[in-house]
């Protein structure tokens, strides 16, 4: 992959557009690079005229109307992410049961549970801010076709990614989410503080199965965990 390909790829990653718009924009951008190279311009000269990928994407995004994601779609996305975290916790509960039942030697089982538990805690702490920082969306947001950007439609920064997730860390999600139906841009309380918004991916509606995963996936994971634990508890 050459420098022009990496530039175009980064612009496309940041663009908020329908598939048709993305295809047309990418074609035009690549054609611009090809024409500039034919004139003898080097990559740095081309980029200096175009601007950084962030600037190009921001200019495009600012010119199009964006639809803010509402409460139910955001809830479904969050529950889908919760289902992922619960699914990753299933091995921890299996280890707990098998260790207590003597299937696994106690010392080895306890050590494995501690390591797995610490890994899950670490994953839970970095999952949301890391993916939202890099891609603007978690797996749940990808399924429900929504993305986090700042109020100027630019990718969010690390500080914003952390601030908007403080309610998750301090168990204030319900209080934070109450703001969504009453704000013009459907922001959570900490979205307002972080100056971030959640928008729908243009031209992309989530498939029906994504809603099912979002609204019911966590319940399936809890049922699996209970199926592991209850027989031992009884």
Angstrom distance (rounded) from CA 189 to CA 77: 18
What pLDDT does residue 233 have? Answer: 63
Q: What are the tens digits of pLDDT across the range 56-79?
A: 888 888 887 889 999 999 999 999
- Unique residue bearing structure tokens 């928008």: 199
pTM of the model: 0.83
Q: 3-class SS at 208?
A: helix
Angstrom distance (rounded) from CA 129 to CA 160: 9
Angstrom distance (rounded) from CA 178 to CA 190: 11
- 234 pLDDT exceeds 60? no
Largest CA distance in the chain: 78
Nearest to 87 by CA among 183, 194, 213: 213
Nearest to 69 by CA among 58, 78, 81, 56: 78
User: For residues 102 and 4, which has the higher predicted lDDT (pLDDT)?
Assistant: 4
What pLDDT does residue 173 have? Answer: 81
Q: Which residue blocks in the chain are alpha helix, DSSP H? A: 3-14, 19-38, 43-50, 53-62, 71-100, 106-134, 139-143, 158-163, 166-169, 173-177, 189-194, 208-233
């Amino acid at each position: 992959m050459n420098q022009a390909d990496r530039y175009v790829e980064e612009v496309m990653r940041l663009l908020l557009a329908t598939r048709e718009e993305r295809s047309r924009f990418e074609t035009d951008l690549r054609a611009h690079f090809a024409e500039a190279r034919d004139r003898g311009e080097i990559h740095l000269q081309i980029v200096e005229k175009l601007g950084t990928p962030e600037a190009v994407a921001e200019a495009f995004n600012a010119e199009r109307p964006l639809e803010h994601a509402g409460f139910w779609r955001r809830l479904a996305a969050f529950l889908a992410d919760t289902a992922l975290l619960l699914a990753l916790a299933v091995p921890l509960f299996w280890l707990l049961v098998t260790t207590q039942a003597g299937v696994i030697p106690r010392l080895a089982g306890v050590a494995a549970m501690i390591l797995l538990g610490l890994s899950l805690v670490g994953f839970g702490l970095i999952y949301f801010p890391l993916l939202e920082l890099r891609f603007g969306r978690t797996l749940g947001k990808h399924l429900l076709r929504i993305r986090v950007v700042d109020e100027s439609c630019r990718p969010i920064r690390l500080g914003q990614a952390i601030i908007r997730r403080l309610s998750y860390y301090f168990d204030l999600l319900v209080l934070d989410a109450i703001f969504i139906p009453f704000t013009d841009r459907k922001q959570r309380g900490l979205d307002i503080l972080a100056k971030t918004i959640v928008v729908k991916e243009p031209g992309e509606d989530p498939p029906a199965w994504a809603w099912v995963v979002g609204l019911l996936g966590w319940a399936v994971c809890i049922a699996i965990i209970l199926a592991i634990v209850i027989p031992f508890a009884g």
